[in-house]
Structure 1
Amino acid sequence: MLTLLNLLSSIALLVWGTHIVRTGILRVYGSQLRRMLSHSLDNRLLAFSSGIGVTALVQSSNATALLTTSFVAQGLMALAPALAIMLGADVGTALMARVLTLDLSWLSPLLIFLGVIFFLSRKQTRAGQLGRVAIGLGLIILALELIVSSATPITESRGIKVLFASLTGDLLLDALVGALFALITYSSLAAVLLTATLAGAGLISLPVAIGLVIGANIGSGILAFLNASMQNAAGRRVALGSLLYKLLGLLLVMPLLRPMVDWMDGLALSPQGMVIGFHLVYNGLRCTLLLPTVGPMARLCTWLLPERQVDNGVARPRHLDRSALGTPSLALANAVRETLRIGDLVEQMLTHLLEVLRHGETAPGKEIRRLDDDVDALYSAVKLYLAQVPRDELGDHDSRRWAEIIELAVNLEQAGDIIERMLGKLQNQKTAQRHSFSDSGLEELSSLHAQLMSNLRLGLSVFLSGDRESARRLLREKRSFRARERRLAHAHVHRLHRQVVQSIETSSLHLELIADMKRLNSLFCSSAYAVLEAGETGALHAGEDNDPAEATISLADDDAVARPPGRTA
């Protein structure tokens, strides 16, 4: 029993070391890896190579599958290049299995020693995260040594010999057991290395080991499909295509198994070396031969998993992938996309508000209220999602980005509430009291509304790009808006002086709408302050314990402070 427990704990240590390496690499180079994958769209060979490189870095094809399915689910990548990346990930896993079987026993204590020193002394820096990666690599090498030593007593167990003797080389049965190995260890890499160790100890024959290796590949495909179960149909298609490719590889190798085993028996290699070599050659040939078929496979997966439109009222987040929370850079990128989606909803609300302003129709008003419910729902989702991101593991840049995202989300939610209140004022004055604006007043409000829409779009662009020149332009537009707002307020007072009846009847509403637009403009332009302050001081002035709403006001000038209704500058 103790021997089996030692073996299981060694496997667990191998899986844990792989997890540490994967998360450490993604935290340090997550954005670069995402960029590498997202730019590999036009060339299948480039996408294939990117899959190999990323998997070799993060030590896990499951991590590559997570990134790729997330891109496809968010509409950032087409299905065909994503399948090419997944084929490359299979080759990357085989390469790492070959590297990790080398005699690296001297490297394990060195990596763990240096990794702990760097990680504990410089935890929040890039060097500290690279120390985390070194710890993971050291644990992987150590775990492989422990697996070998733990498997040795198993070969002396009569019951275990009988159990593995039941595997007589039936490829389908062996593949099923190999898939179970991969599911239990949560890693095809761990399953292949365990199989190589068992073969080297003489516990299983070469045909059985080959079947287990092929099954481990299929198990990794099943794992990827299970991990993608919470994604939309587009994301699940990537995992489905990868799984179908692995099953197709099983069908291709079945008629060649016996002559291949006879040929391999004549090689002057150890059983362990033959298992690892077969894994590398099998994945390399399979993925290279199937690479030209990614287009037809993409069409097949699209046919098997069609997109289903679900309309259940309030909008649901599309980009907040909870499986990405362990990778802060990826989680922040998801939150950025969802926050920009909130900005799009606010823009739609403003568009419908103009229709109500000009024509007094009821349908746009209903749409505004529905969109405000969507804004509130998505804001809550983004806020809760960001709350789950481990802030103590964020670097300086990611920490600033976290604050910028929550600030903009708060601002957009407040903007949605202001627009809904503006709708209520309009419907009360124009519908209940049957009052209408003068032609001049309506034209002035429309022109101010157009500038407000333009500033919203520019503010979202500044938030996304972080461009300082665009941020300065946004601040100039803000000052221009404030000057126009004053001119329009004075023009309205001038019409009152001329006793224009419509202006007198709608005076309070007219001035309140101008003031509301001014508050909206301040909220839309606040992203410029975050960009400029980050460039000048290297950090935002919002403390970690401050309320996001307070941080919002601290980044804007006194225009963000609401004035009582009817007051103007």
Structure 2
Amino acid sequence: MDLPLTLLDLAGAIALLLWGVRMVQTGIQRAFGGQLKIWLARALGSRLRALLAGVGVTAILQSSTATGLMVTGFAARGLVGLIPALAVMLGANIGTTLIVQVLSFDVVRVAPVLILIGFLMFQRASAGRRDFGRVFIGLGLMLMSLHQLVSLMQPYENAASVRGFLDAVATQPVLYVVLGAVLAWAVHSSVAIVLLAMSFASHGAIPLDTALAFVLGANLGTAINPVLEGVGGRNPAAWRVPIGNLLNRLAGVAVALLVLPWTVALLTWLEPGPARAVADYHTAFNLVLALVFLPALGPYAALLRRWLPAREDPNDARTPRYLDPAARETPTVALDNAARETVRMAQTLSRMLQGFCTALLHPSRHQISLIRQADDTIDSLNAAIKSYVVSLDADALGETEREQAGRILAFATNVEQAADIVDRNLLGMSAKMLKRGISFSPEGRAELLGLTERLLTNVELAIEVFGQPEMVHARRLAQEKQVFRARERRATAAHFARLRRGVVQSAETSAIHLDVLRDLKQVNAHLVAGAAYPVLEAHRALLPHRVEEGGDEL
């Protein structure tokens, strides 16, 4: 037996298993990812529905980590209550066991057939068929890798050194729990780690109690990922769902370790086959955990709220004020709430532009920092509004509600993009000028202030058009695009005239001046596109292009 080559083969088989799991997950996510997220958001009305939703979504995605990250994001933005969110996590833990149940049977003979079907589907032009083809190929690779693992372990079944090492480690099942947790955390998949333990146990490479400890570690490891990746921000309330899931896993693992000897005896009597015993234990552990914690989610959630109290600043503009989760049952009310939150975004953009005016007159690092905090607010509100709107039941929306939802998403997106221009471009140039101690000429500064004030007026007009989508206001705002372009051209010509007279401070300020003019025009264009164009398009008053075939501007 050539140990180095065998270890290399073993590593390759494990890598093939992980790659197969990844192909299944990415194929499903590409085919159904957006729909699954919307369906999950709709199913969070009660703890039982949330539990079943967690089972279903995770059974399809084959990743409790992915489900955990989605529901943690919902909870962090206040779109779902704590109790349904915790119920989803209990269901997700069950859903991830289903594929293990299927693969615990001797189905390796179908692996080539699955790969062939997947290959043929992948060759088709349809993107959906290609994604399903990826799933079939991934399942086939998983089966082939499991068969390869069993074959590689056969020569070492009775090796004295290997047996002695395994016997020594087997006396400390906690070590296998830690190892399983680390591996599951590293590969973001409890499925792959449980299948690995199942393969080792089926060939006698590790005893059943060690394999079960390995399974406990895999279940624990996947609860770590949402804690590390699914939360952020300063509010401890955002940590409740992932930490709550991790704590109930820890409690379950601790109790399971205490009763492990009796569990092994029971499984040996009920299921002589080690592979089936490992798969059944994986499922039973998560079922028992759900049965124990689901009725107790009320007091458990209250305990989490006490441990992790909300520390929201009532003046924190980043927190949505109007996105009431309960209103989603009534789409008309929910869309009105989303529209009010979107107006807050536009008002924040107005404050950013006002701050930019102040920075032009009295540049300071503090002022620039305040404006950038406002951009963070807009980014946060934009994400919350989009998640809120897309979570509404599309079948319950009439034609009017669909148009309103489209206008909300369009306006929110364009306001966010306009804010990015202010943050990344305008403030970047202000910071550069402050750092280098340069400034605009008085005429140039007055010119930029005039355009910015015109832009502030257009922000107010855009808010009016968004709130009252009437044609007269939409046309007026759309005309502002041509007006603003003409003013930008005149300002550019005046700047070059000053440059010829030598009035401009320096070549560097000249370049910055022209860049600011361009960026202010782009901000104005986003306001028109976000507020006026959807109204004009709904009334079929928006031309498909601005240039005729002869080249004359419409």
Tell me the TM-score normalized by structure 1: 0.62
| Compared CA separation, residues 81 and 118, structure 1 to 2 (3 A) | same
Distance 1:59 1:145 in 2: 21
Residue in 2 that maps onto 1:344: 344
Distance 2:11 2:478 in 1: 68
Query: 1:52, 1:91 within 8 Å by CA — same for their partners in 2?
Result: yes
Residue in 2 that maps onto 1:86: 89
| Residues 127-168 of structure 1, C-alpha deviations (whole Å, 9 max, x = no match) | 222222222222222222222222323324332211211134
Distance 2:38 2:416 in 1: 25
Residue in 2 that maps onto 1:454: 464
Residue in 2 that maps onto 1:225: 227
Secondary structure of the residue that 1:292 maps to in structure 2?
Answer: coil
| Residues 64-122 of structure 1, C-alpha deviations (whole Å, 9 max, x = no match) | 11222222233322222111111111111122211122233243223323333433442
Task: Supply the AA of the counterpart residue of 1:219.
Answer: G
Query: 1:151, 1:197 within 8 Å by CA — same for their partners in 2?
Result: no
Distance 1:2 1:170 in 2: 29
Secondary structure of the residue that 2:97 maps to in structure 1?
Answer: helix
Residue in 2 that maps onto 1:261: 264
Task: Supply the AA of the counterpart residue of 2:11.
Answer: L
Structure 2: which 5+ residue stretches go unaligned? 321-337, 355-360, 383-407, 427-441, 447-454, 482-519, 548-552
| Residues 353-406 of structure 1, C-alpha deviations (whole Å, 9 max, x = no match) | 99xxxxxxx9xxx999876544666789999xxxxxxxxxxxxxxxxx999987
Instruction: Pick the aligned partner of 1:207 from 192, 209, 215.
Output: 209
Task: Supply the AA of the counterpart residue of 1:478.
Answer: A
Please list, as runs of the form range in 1=range in 2, the aligned pairs for 1:40-119 lying within 5 A after superposition. Answer: 40-119=43-122
| Residues 273-292 of structure 1, C-alpha deviations (whole Å, 9 max, x = no match) | 11111211221122122112
Task: Supply the AA of the counterpart residue of 1:29.
Answer: F
Task: Supply the AA of the counterpart residue of 1:142.
Answer: M
| Compared CA separation, residues 480 and 237, structure 1 to 2 (3 A) | same
Residue in 2 that maps onto 1:550: none
Residue in 1 that maps onto 2:177: 175
Distance 1:308 1:160 in 2: 54
Range with greater deviation from structure 2 (86-95 or 183-192): 183-192
Secondary structure of the residue that 2:78 maps to in structure 1?
Answer: coil
Residue in 2 that maps onto 1:15: 18
Query: 2:353, 2:422 within 8 Å by CA — same for their partners in 1?
Result: no
Shift of 1:244: 0.7
Instruction: Pick the aligned partner of 2:475 from 474, 479, 482.
Output: 479
Task: Supply the AA of the counterpart residue of 1:226.
Answer: L
Please list, as runs of the form range in 1=range in 2, the aligned pairs for 1:130-529 lying within 5 A after superposition. Answer: 130-168=132-170, 170-183=172-185, 185-228=187-230, 233-267=236-270, 269-306=272-309, 344-348=344-348, 350=350, 372-374=371-373, 409-411=416-418, 452-457=462-467, 473=469, 475=471, 477-479=473-475, 523-527=526-530
Shift of 1:55: 0.9
| Residues 499-522 of structure 1, C-alpha deviations (whole Å, 9 max, x = no match) | xxxxxxxxxxxxxxxxxx999886
Task: Supply the AA of the counterpart residue of 1:10.
Answer: A
Query: 1:51, 1:85 within 8 Å by CA — same for their partners in 2?
Result: yes
| Compared CA separation, residues 349 and 447, structure 1 to 2 (3 A) | closer
Task: Supply the AA of the counterpart residue of 1:249.
Answer: G
| Compared CA separation, residues 475 and 215, structure 1 to 2 (3 A) | same
Secondary structure of the residue that 1:166 maps to in structure 2?
Answer: helix
Distance 1:534 1:107 in 2: 53
| Compared CA separation, residues 76 and 523, structure 1 to 2 (3 A) | same
| Residues 199-230 of structure 1, C-alpha deviations (whole Å, 9 max, x = no match) | 21122222222222222211222233233365
Residue in 2 that maps onto 1:357: none
| Compared CA separation, residues 36 and 381, structure 1 to 2 (3 A) | closer
Query: 1:13, 1:143 within 8 Å by CA — same for their partners in 2?
Result: yes
Distance 1:536 1:13 in 2: 56
Range with greater deviation from structure 2 (299-308 or 5-14): 299-308
| Compared CA separation, residues 112 and 235, structure 1 to 2 (3 A) | farther
Task: Supply the AA of the counterpart residue of 2:463.
Answer: M
Distance 2:456 2:195 in 1: 69
Distance 2:32 2:88 in 1: 18
| Compared CA separation, residues 143 and 541, structure 1 to 2 (3 A) | farther
Structure 1: which 5+ residue stretches go unaligned? 319-337, 355-361, 384-400, 419-427, 433-444, 459-472, 486-516, 543-552, 555-559, 562-569
Secondary structure of the residue that 2:112 maps to in structure 1?
Answer: helix
| Compared CA separation, residues 46 and 165, structure 1 to 2 (3 A) | same
Shift of 1:54: 0.9
What is the percent sequence identity of the aligned residues?
31
Residue in 2 that maps onto 1:464: none
Residue in 1 that maps onto 2:512: none
Secondary structure of the residue that 1:266 maps to in structure 2?
Answer: helix
Shift of 1:33: 0.9
| Residues 463-521 of structure 1, C-alpha deviations (whole Å, 9 max, x = no match) | xxxxxxxxxx4655412667999xxxxxxxxxxxxxxxxxxxxxxxxxxxxxxx99988
Root-mean-square deviation (CA), in Å?
Answer: 5.2
Distance 1:380 1:446 in 2: 20
Distance 1:283 1:218 in 2: 11
| Compared CA separation, residues 346 and 208, structure 1 to 2 (3 A) | same
Task: Supply the AA of the counterpart residue of 2:155.
Answer: P
Distance 1:157 1:72 in 2: 52
Query: 1:18, 1:140 within 8 Å by CA — same for their partners in 2?
Result: yes
Shift of 1:237: 2.7
Range with greater deviation from structure 2 (286-295 or 297-306): 297-306
Residue in 1 that maps onto 2:506: none
Query: 1:182, 1:191 within 8 Å by CA — same for their partners in 2?
Result: yes
| Compared CA separation, residues 75 and 409, structure 1 to 2 (3 A) | same
Range with greater deviation from structure 2 (75-84 or 228-237): 228-237
Aligned residues: 433
Shift of 1:249: 0.8
Query: 2:54, 2:95 within 8 Å by CA — same for their partners in 1?
Result: yes
Secondary structure of the residue that 1:203 maps to in structure 2?
Answer: coil
Secondary structure of the residue that 2:206 maps to in structure 1?
Answer: coil
| Residues 409-461 of structure 1, C-alpha deviations (whole Å, 9 max, x = no match) | 4445568999xxxxxxxxx9xxx9xxxxxxxxxxxx99998654222456xxx
Shift of 1:341: 8.0
